[in-house]
């Protein structure tokens, strides 16, 4: 009888042990299957900025990450530019997360992470690339600007200047350029950060050119920093031999040096930059007669321009 009880007890204990092992095995299997099925898949990942150029961001711009999340795991953890941000559901499984750029953020490509962690605390997926190849670059540095010319003072004819910026610019407002005793023309965008132009003096004396603040903006929309002022001294030289009478009331006689030849455009420009007389003529005999009888009294710059030269001097019309 004792032997029977002992055998029965042993069999009962073995049955309990098997049940416990079965439960443990089933739990482990379930966890493994859960891990295998909880992929943390993410799709339709995109990143944009609210900047006019959505691929760039400057200070204060909002960068937004959008994605479609996995249905088998909790909401993922998201970081943008190294900052932990909370995803917001905009529809079923579709989320957005945003960060406003500050001066403590690092310039360059804005990095992000979408991290899935299961209920057991295991990281099952990390996403750090978009599915549409979108990228956003952070730029908070204002481009510097400069105006340069190889022409030295004194100048007696139009001369070329180079307007340069420290980086590529997307907009350039020529109307903001500050000029004194000069005009600018013939703009040519040589590169995305270099523009050339022609400076024409209006009359004798100092002239200046400056690129002020916010004349240009870079790709992120940052305005430029003002340039140093370029100055030159304009003088009345060139290839005039005689000009008489000066002041003139009816006819102005202009006699050129022998080096001047062929056709030229002769113009009278007042000190406000307004052309009151302009005519193309042949410089026969190197002497030209200009009818100023209908030109208002005042001080003018007399320009002579051809494909080979350009020079000027001061004249006065008095009636």
Domain annotation for the chain: domains and CATH numbers: 43-138 (2.60.40), 145-234 (2.60.40.1220), 240-317 (2.60.40.1930)
Which pLDDT score is estimated for 53?
97
83: nearest Cα among 102, 109, 57: 102
Which pLDDT score is estimated for 175?
95
Q: Is the pLDDT of residue 308 over 80?
A: no
74: nearest Cα among 121, 13, 133: 121
- The chain-wide mean pLDDT, for the chain, equals 85
- Residue 138: band (very low, low, confident or very high) from pLDDT cuts 50, 70, 90: very high
HSE-CB at 152 with a 13 A cutoff on CA atoms is: 0
Cα separation, 310 vs 264, whole angstroms: 9
* Residue 67, CA distances (Å) to 41, 45, 111, 155 in order: 10, 4, 15, 62
pLDDT digits (tens, 9 = 90+) for 228-282: 999 998 876 557 788 999 999 999 999 887 656 668 899 999 988 899 999 998 7
Q: Poorest-confidence range of 70-84, 152-166, 256-270?
A: 256-270
- Residue 188: band (very low, low, confident or very high) from pLDDT cuts 50, 70, 90: very high
Which pLDDT score is estimated for 238?
59
Cα separation, 90 vs 97, whole angstroms: 10
Beta bridge partners of 268: 277, 302
* Residue 42, CA distances (Å) to 48, 97, 113 in order: 17, 14, 11
- For CA atoms 20, 22, 23, 29, the dihedral sign is positive
236: nearest Cα among 315, 150, 152, 149: 315
Supply the DSSP symbol for 112: E
**Tokens (6 digits) for 121:** 């605390």
Percentage of the chain modeled with pLDDT above 70: 83
- Residue 212: band (very low, low, confident or very high) from pLDDT cuts 50, 70, 90: very high
Q: Poorest-confidence range of 18-32, 125-139, 199-213?
A: 18-32
Q: Is the pLDDT of residue 22 over 90?
A: no
**Tokens (6 digits) for 66:** 């959008």
Q: Is the pTM of this model over 0.75?
A: no
Contact status, residue 289 vs residue 251, Cβ threshold 8 Å: yes
Q: Which residues contact 140 (CB under 8 A, 6 or more apart)?
A: 58, 59, 101, 103, 105, 107, 220, 222
Which pLDDT score is estimated for 71?
72
Helix spans in the chain (H): 2-37
Which pLDDT score is estimated for 20?
41
- Residue 2: band (very low, low, confident or very high) from pLDDT cuts 50, 70, 90: low
Cα separation, 63 vs 101, whole angstroms: 7
247: nearest Cα among 209, 298, 291: 298
Q: Is the pLDDT of residue 307 over 60?
A: yes
Dihedral of the alpha carbons of 47, 52, 57, 62, in degrees to the nearest 10: -60
Q: Is the pLDDT of residue 199 over 80?
A: yes
List phi, psi (to 5°) of 23: -65, -45
Which pLDDT score is estimated for 260?
63
Helix-strand-coil split of the chain, %, nearest 5: 15, 45, 40
Which pLDDT score is estimated for 13?
55
């Amino acid at each position: 009888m004792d032997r029977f009880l002992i055998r029965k007890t042993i069999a009962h204990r073995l049955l309990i042990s098997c049940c416990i092992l079965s439960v443990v095995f089933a739990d482990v299997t379930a966890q493994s299957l859960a891990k295998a099925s909880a992929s943390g898949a993410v799709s339709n990942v995109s990143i944009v900025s609210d900047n006019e150029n959505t691929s760039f961001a400057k200070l204060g711009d909002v960068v937004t990450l959008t994605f479609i999340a996995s249905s088998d795991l909790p909401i993922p953890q998201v970081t943008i530019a190294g900052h932990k941000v909370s995803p917001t559901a905009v529809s079923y499984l579709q989320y957005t997360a945003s960060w406003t750029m500050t001066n403590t953020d690092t310039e360059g490509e804005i990095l992000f992470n979408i991290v899935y962690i299961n209920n057991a605390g295991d990281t099952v997926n990390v996403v750090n690339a978009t599915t549409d190849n979108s990228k956003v670059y952070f730029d908070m540095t204002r481009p510097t600007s400069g105006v340069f010319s190889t022409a030295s003072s004194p100048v007696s004819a139009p001369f070329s200047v180079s307007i340069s910026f420290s980086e590529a610019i997307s907009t350039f407002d020529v109307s903001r350029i500050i000029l004194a005793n000069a005009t600018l023309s013939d703009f040519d965008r040589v590169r995305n950060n270099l523009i050339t132009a022609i400076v024409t003096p209006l009359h004798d004396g100092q002239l200046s050119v400056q690129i002020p603040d916010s004349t240009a903006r870079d790709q992120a929309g940052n305005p430029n920093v003002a340039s140093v002022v370029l100055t030159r001294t304009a003088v009345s030289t060139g290839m005039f031999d005689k000009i008489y009478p000066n002041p003139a009331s009816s006819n102005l006689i202009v006699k050129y040096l022998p080096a001047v030849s062929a056709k030229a455009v002769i113009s009278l420009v007042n000190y406000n930059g307004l052309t009151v007389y302009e005519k193309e003529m042949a410089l026969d005999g190197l002497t030209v007669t200009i009818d100023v009888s209908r030109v208002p009294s005042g001080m003018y710059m007399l320009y002579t321009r051809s494909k080979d030269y350009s020079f000027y001097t001061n004249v006065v019309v008095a009636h």
